[in-house]
Chain A
Amino acid sequence: MTTRLFGEPVERREDGRLLTGQGRYLDDLGAGALAAAFVRSPHAHARVRDVDVSAALDVEGLVAVYTWEDLPERVGRALPLLIPHPALTHGRTAHPLARDVVRHVGEPVVMVVATDRYLAEDACARIEVEYEVLKPVVGLEEAAHGAQLVHDDVPGNVGAHLVQEVPSGAGASAREAIEAAPHRLAFRLDIERSASTPLEGRGVYARWDGTDLRVYTSTQTSTSVRMAVAAALGLPLPHVEVIAPDVGGGFGVKIMHPWPEEILVPWAAMLLGREIKWTEDRREHFVSSAHERGQVQHVEVGFDDDGRVLGLDVTILHDHGAYTPYGIIVPLITSTQLLGPYKIGAYRVEFSSIYTNTVQVTPYRGAGRPQGVFCMERTMDKIARHLGKDRTEVRRANFIEADEFPYDQGMIFQDGRPLIYDSGDYPEMLRMVKELIGWDDFERRPGRGIGIGCYVEGTGVGPYEGGHVMVTSDGRVHVSTGLTSQGQGHETVFAQIAATELGVPIERVSVVTGDTRRFGYAVGTFASRAAVMSGNAIALACRKVREKALRIAADALEADPADMEITEGLVHVVGAPSASIPLSTVAVLANPLRYAFDDEAVKATQFAGAASPDRPPVAEGDEPGLEGRDYYSPIRSTFAAGMHAAIVETDPLTAEIRIVRYAVVHDCGRLINPMIVEGQIHGGVAQGVGGALYERMVYDEHGQLVNASFMDFLMPYATEVPRVETAHLETPSPLNPLGIKGAGEAGVIPVSAVVAAAVEDAEGIEIDRMPISPSDLFELRSRRSADSG
């Protein structure tokens, strides 16, 4: 590895097009395509009695109108339940268009196709749907009472119920450990709904040429959309290609698939023989995509005089909305990642995943971890408060020590594999974050507080990703991987890996992601997995290419491959740069030719004398071309970690909360590109600040989302996000060849816990419900005054 690019803050290779308006996002494609629009339910819970489209029929430009009854059986059936789990006993998914009952505001009922979007919406406005309005189930605890049902055949609105128990070393249950503990606390925590809210919504554009279907979709998984579309439309897989173009942010919501529109738009494109495009608008995104976060947690903890947790019992009510297409991944992650960097004596966690007449819940950056970390970190702070100890001291007393890895938490993680932490150094990380924020010198005063939050994040979940690397006869290196990109800089970091592994200038490397024409086998981009999974797969594929290049070059130079290396695209004998051959020529020689198409190609033709006449031109077991493909499939996840600390100030009159300093220590193993990792952390923290102080989905008693716009759902602007101070610790992962761990979600995970801790410190009021607005804090202050008055 002579071209050291791994670890460097290389400027992004995708930026050239994105800075000049040359990006190709979904709605930038398909000029002239027909436009789809949808009539969506205005009711949270209703029976569809009748759909009258007659008034729409004379809208100029109308091409087609479809209801559920128009769909063939295969297309109209319930959408797939993507992640089955034995505990999900009552999983339910929606139909692409409502069949008889609508279960949340925004559920699609009628699809309209017209010559442009304005006209399609005109037609939608004229379609009359007659509903029999049913009583909606709104509010997590109301839903859990089960008086009204979201699905008639799901008693108590319980989709899933799961209990997991880890006894103490001595074999005590959590209950026994808590009862026997010198100190005990019990409390309740609430986290409200938020959502990914990428600035580009979803979108689908499909074209059918009579044999082959091409679908562009703003997705985090093109390979899986491809399989889902092929299955729903009954097409042979090789006749379907799916491409994720430039994607304007995902943050989890676009890993959900297939969306109704991802089935319906291609289906209609085939039926009509016309190109069709649908681009989600902002209100549609609020009411018809997915949300996350909403949970109620009941916690009981027993601990000793040092603050060591002896037993922890957590009961979680998780709101999964009207349907469960993504299974119970979110509460599973909350339950397991709640443990963080700590050794808990005995642990019991129970969750009930509950239906409500609201938008479905699927992962949003952090995917259940922010809730779990909020629970554990609030617990640590309450223990410290109870014992009168420093909050960092209590955490330190519970840490897994640096010499205890691999550390088995005794649970099953979201990938169905044991929750075993591979590496880390939590005591060192705590020291670093305390120093960065100035914990020991902090001057506390009324209205000024400090808080801390720690987390461990399972990243790089399997099952696998692959990479393909091809060197062409012009010396260019073409890398492809199946997973997708939504701004993480994959074109840059994967090029850094390939350039480093192959010893070529990065300018010669190009990377394609999320295009099933280039790479058909993949899982997708989620769970902070892209760099770990595809990064390692591409490195392994490069190593195959390198080995072949050295072999061919050694043959040509009559040298030993073991004595050769590649530097700046030149294959040469170590220490003898004159005995060399360009990688471009090696690529030519790798492909024995009959026909010369240019001057370089002449070298590989049959009369050029390059190959031995005693061997077949392509040896047994070999393949023509200088290319390689390999896969990385980890035995289990790798565990990144981080600790954040913040100082907040609260206004004595308005109760406004201002974050004045925010410090992050982060460990994602070896850094491929520190600039990009920091960018991921900044963005994650900003989303965390949104979740801690501003963002909530406000449903009224009718199940109407009353703040479904950017006017009312308050995402932070530049004026609301603090400057983030960062420091990195690198404990390489022993699980993968590059020693890396994921970084994508990290920033967001502990922010609510950190801000709650800091506000609590500033105000002396326990903060058990997030987000916290100035009104909420004002209310808490008033209640305290009333209590003490």
Chain B
Amino acid sequence: MEHEITLVVNGTARRARVPARRLLSDCLRHDLGLTGTHVGCEHGVCGCCTVLLDGEPVRSCLTFAVTVDGQEITTVEGLAGPEGPSPVQRAFGECHALQCGFCTPGFLCTVTALLRENPAPTDEEVLEGISGNLCRCTGYQNIAKAVHRAAELLAEEGQ
């Protein structure tokens, strides 16, 4: 049996008909065509599928789409503003915080929420904040650097 749901994705109301078992990650990727959200393990460990649900980071691979009917979701496609990439996105580019880019959308969503909560994190807080996301390419050093850089950019822009 399929369910009619409405998700407010990146500010736009989107309707989809999904079976109850449809994962939010699959719904975003395959029903709504937002393939920026990636799936690395489908058991909630790698963090590639992280999206913001009402502003909070969640694993979209551990969430059934029907359970978030009516809620607001931000995916990597929604992070950029009208002026272009967000400070977090820009900082990741500047600091070479990505290589293959597969884990990157999950990190970007995680870090966006992290800096909203804590605009000037310490080194420890940065490591703790990104310690739920796996990256197999970068060794995390430049990701940690990018989080600090993003904090600087956000501060400069007074956001």
Contacts and interface: CB of A to CB of B under 8 A. Distances in A.
A77 interface: no
A18 B93 CA distance: 10
A715 interface: yes
Given A199-B48, A199-B136, A15 B43 contact: no
Given A12-B93, A19-B92, A676-B96, A721 B101 contact: no
B89 interface: yes
Contacts, number: 169
Chain B residues touching A, majority SS: loop
Nearest to A18: B101
A704 interface: no
B24 to A, nearest CB: 14
Contact of A718 (B80, B101, B127, B136): B127
A710 B41 contact: yes
Most buried by B among A27, A710, A715: A710
Contacts of A682: 138-142
A20 B137 contact: no
A685 interface: yes
Interface in B114-137: 127-128, 130-137
A719 B130 CA distance: 9
A719 B142 contact: no
Nearest to B78: A21
Given A20-B85, A676-B96, A710 B46 contact: yes
Contact of A721 (B30, B36, B141): B141
A11 interface: yes
A679 B75 CA distance: 26
Interface in A463-502: 486-489
B83 to A, nearest CB: 13
- A248, A282, A718, A721, most chain B CB atoms within 10 A: A718
A248 B104 CA distance: 10
A785 interface: no
A198 B30 CA distance: 22
Interface in B63-77: 75-77
B42 A281 contact: yes
Residue among A23, A488, A715 with most chain B CB within 10 A:
A23
B136 A715 contact: yes
Nearest to B40: A199
Given A12-B93, A27-B39, A683-B99, A20 B77 contact: yes
Given A27-B35, A199-B134, A718-B140, A20 B99 contact: no
B13 interface: no
A31 interface: yes
B81 to A, nearest CB: 11
A570 interface: no
B98 interface: yes
B94 interface: yes
A249 B134 CA distance: 12
Given A11-B93, A14-B101, A200-B38, A683 B127 contact: no
B96 A12 contact: yes
A693 interface: no
Contact of A11 (B94, B127, B143): B94
A197 interface: yes
Contacts of B79: 20
Contact of A19 (B98, B100, B132, B136): B98
A683 B137 contact: yes
A24 B38 CA distance: 11
A192 B133 CA distance: 25
Contact of B136 (A28, A198, A281, A747): A198
Contacts of A281: 42
Nearest to B138: A683
A249 B36 contact: no
A246 B101 contact: yes
A23 B36 contact: yes
A118 interface: yes
A180 interface: no
**For the complex of A and B, 7 pairs with smallest distance between CB atoms:** A21-B36, A487-B100, A248-B102, A18-B101, A682-B139, A686-B139, A487-B99
